[in-house]
Amino acid sequence: MNSEASYHLRRQVLWGLVLVGLGVAFLLDQMDVFDIRSLWHYAPLLLVVVGINQTIGYPSAREFSNGLWTVFIGLWLFAVLEGLWGLTFGNSWPLLIIISGITMAVRPIAERRFGQKGGNGHGK
């Protein structure tokens, strides 16, 4: 199995497991076993999981840098919504500029290291 097919398989499995987890959480909430509202503040961490999934076995440098961006956005949203380190939407927006610069700088390095195209020679 080439790396692009492996990537797409892993991506589909991840989304399937996320849906199963959400379904179980909603079912337990409906059965009054668990209060799902206690989990909502962890929702941005789903973006972190998705981003990590994009960076592992990625088919292109673009997917890798997009994965880094997704991880950062998830962590940033979690920190802001939880009020960690005094971060708010109003005082932490410069972090978006910083991570934009980092992903722009990482993409050409990843392209040189791993190539611009996926494992089977088809670019996106």
Amino acid at the residue 111:
E
Residue 79 to residue 47: CA distance in whole angstroms: 13
Q: What pLDDT, in 10s, does the model give residues 20-68? A: 988 888 888 888 887 888 777 788 888 898 888 878 766 677 777 888 8
> In 10 A of CB 90, how many CB atoms?
7
Q: What predicted TM-score, i.e. pTM, was given to this entire model?
A: 0.65
Does residue 38 or residue 72 have the better pLDDT? 72
Return all residues near 113 (Cβ < 8 A) that are at least 6 apart.
61
Question: What is the structure's pLDDT at 115?
Answer: 66
Give the HSE-up count for residue 124: Cα atoms under 13 Å, Cβ half-sphere.
Answer: 12
What is the pLDDT confidence band of residue 119, given thresholds at 50, 70 and 90? very low
- Whether the CB-CB separation of 60 and 113 falls below 8 Å is answered with no
Average of per-residue pLDDT across 80-85: 85
Average of per-residue pLDDT across 90-104: 86
Q: Determine the angle formed by the axes of helices 94-114 and 61-82, rounding to 10 degrees.
A: 160
> In 10 A of CB 64, how many CB atoms?
23
